[in-house]
Amino acid sequence: MIVPRPTREEILARLKRKIDERRPIFIASAGSGLVAKLLETAGVDCINTFSGARLRANGMGTMSMMWPILDSNKQTLDYTEQDILPAIEGDAFICACLNANDPLRDMRSVLQRLKDMGVMSVSNIGPSISYVDKDSNIYRVLTKSGITLQHEIDMLALGREMGMVTVGLAFDLEDSLQIIEQARPDIFCFHAGTTKGGITGYDSGETIEETAAKTEEAYKAIRAIEPDTILVAHGAAMETPEDAQFMLHNTSGHGFWTGSSTERLPIERAVLGAAREFAALTFKDE
């Protein structure tokens, strides 16, 4: 197996070409090689790997990655190399989402390992301190112990310095602007909240109209600082293709990022539906 190795310049040229042609950028997460292969076949531009996606593939919710039940970066590095890269043809590029607050690793070494295996893009989502509510006691405890957004920003800046395509992500306007101002990521995803739907999804009650309005507010503020950043939407009420279409029509971004919507939810529906049909089979009456 020889894994395709696109360069930063090739990746960005491909994305810019789609933007110029008014075609949406499509980023999606994959927790298994099969999902990655199917996503690439469907035309996804970027496949994200992170411990939360792998845990989703094992039946847990994405947020299970926040607990100390695994070495998040080891999970991402191992399954990206063993499961995802050998499954794709190179039409999509891989972005590894890392835990930049890992106290046991130098992130320069981690990024170099990614480059050595053929991954030329990195994001700060795997996991991010941004998942934790800022008005909570646990947020204050985490930041006091040295788990901060600044480490994520520094990793993104380092990734760009090392010639990687960087994908910044944040949940609110304050963190979004801090990432944009300091890291200048090539792509920025405004994460509107945990995707609703299915067995483990969380529905905050937010409407797609509210998700679009909140996302557009972030887009405008980001564009005022860095007008060339590629902007994509994710999460909250954006569950279905119809929801994503609404986001494209009602925001000024360049595309969207799906997680559960093109991974966990379709698998739940397809496997459950097929298994129920088999479970309903009967023997011939005697």
pLDDT tens-digit series, residues 130-185: 889 899 999 999 999 999 999 999 999 999 999 999 999 999 999 999 999 999 99
* 33 close to 86: Cβ distance less than 8 angstroms: yes
Cα of first residue to Cα of last residue in the chain, in angstroms, is: 54
For residues 226 and 194, which has the higher predicted lDDT (pLDDT)? 226
Lowest mean pLDDT among 82-91, 124-133, 165-174: 124-133
Percent of the chain whose pLDDT exceeds 90: 76
Question: What is the pLDDT, as a whole number, of residue 61?
Answer: 66
Given a cut of 60, is residue 281 above it in pLDDT?
Answer: yes
Mean pLDDT of 57-64: 68
Q: How far apart are CA 285 and CA 95, in angstroms?
A: 55
Q: How confident is the model at residue 196 (pLDDT cuts 50, 70, 90)?
A: low
Given a cut of 80, is residue 195 above it in pLDDT?
Answer: no
Question: What is the pLDDT, as a whole number, of residue 151?
Answer: 97
Half-sphere exposure for 48 (CA within 13 Å, toward CB): 30
Question: What is the pLDDT, as a whole number, of residue 96?
Answer: 97
Given a cut of 80, is residue 59 above it in pLDDT?
Answer: no
Question: What is the pLDDT, as a whole number, of residue 156?
Answer: 98
Question: What is the pLDDT, as a whole number, of residue 161?
Answer: 97
* 99 close to 145: Cβ distance less than 8 angstroms: no
Given a cut of 60, is residue 39 above it in pLDDT?
Answer: yes
Q: How confident is the model at residue 237 (pLDDT cuts 50, 70, 90)?
A: confident
Q: How confident is the model at residue 51 (pLDDT cuts 50, 70, 90)?
A: confident
Question: What is the pLDDT, as a whole number, of residue 214?
Answer: 94
Per CATH, domain 8-275 is 3.20.20.70: yes
For residues 166 and 196, which has the higher predicted lDDT (pLDDT)? 166
